[in-house]
Amino acid sequence: MRKRSLVIVATIVLVLALATMVLAADPFVGTWKLNVAKSKATDPSAMPQSETFKAEALDNGQKTTVDGLDANGKTYHFEFSIKYDGKDYPVTGYPLADTFAQKKIDANTLELVAKKAGKEVERWRFIVSKDGKTETSTGKGMTEKGKAYNGTFVYDKQ
């Protein structure tokens, strides 16, 4: 009986260790800070003065919390929990969209589509560098005044 209990405990420990490794292997997980000097937007009002986001691992997805200071010095905060399955998930605190859909293109690339009332309003591609230290987001978005812009935002892992 003791040997059987030991085998069960060892199996549980191994499964938990493997699950932890798989979740930790997601290169998007972590805290990221916007590198303003390396970032650009075709509309200056779309360029934050600062932004930090924290992505936490979920089963085949992430929980993300974003805090920043916009071009006018106004603070903002939004968050969402999402899977990498391309389905719409609610976002709270983001005035331009009510859902995000995200899918993994490959191990280091995600695509995110933001929708308002079911209509696509933004599309972004996120790529984490091979060394895992930089995340670059490129795509098209909307300003709070509804003006479309293109942007490239570079984030450094903290």
Where along the chain do its domains lie? 28-157
Q: How many CB atoms lie within 10 A of CB 77?
A: 11
3-class secondary-structure state, position 74: coil
Q: How far apart, in whole angstroms, are the C-alpha atoms of residue 108 and residue 119?
A: 27
3-state secondary structure of 148: strand
Q: Which of 120, 110, 119, 140 is nearest to 32 (CA)?
A: 110
Q: pLDDT, tens digit, for every residue of 43-91? A: 999 999 999 999 999 999 999 999 999 999 999 999 999 999 999 999 9
Tell me the CATH number for domain 28-157.
2.40.128.20
Claim: this prediction has a pTM higher than 0.75: yes
Cβ neighbours, 10 Å, residue 19: 11
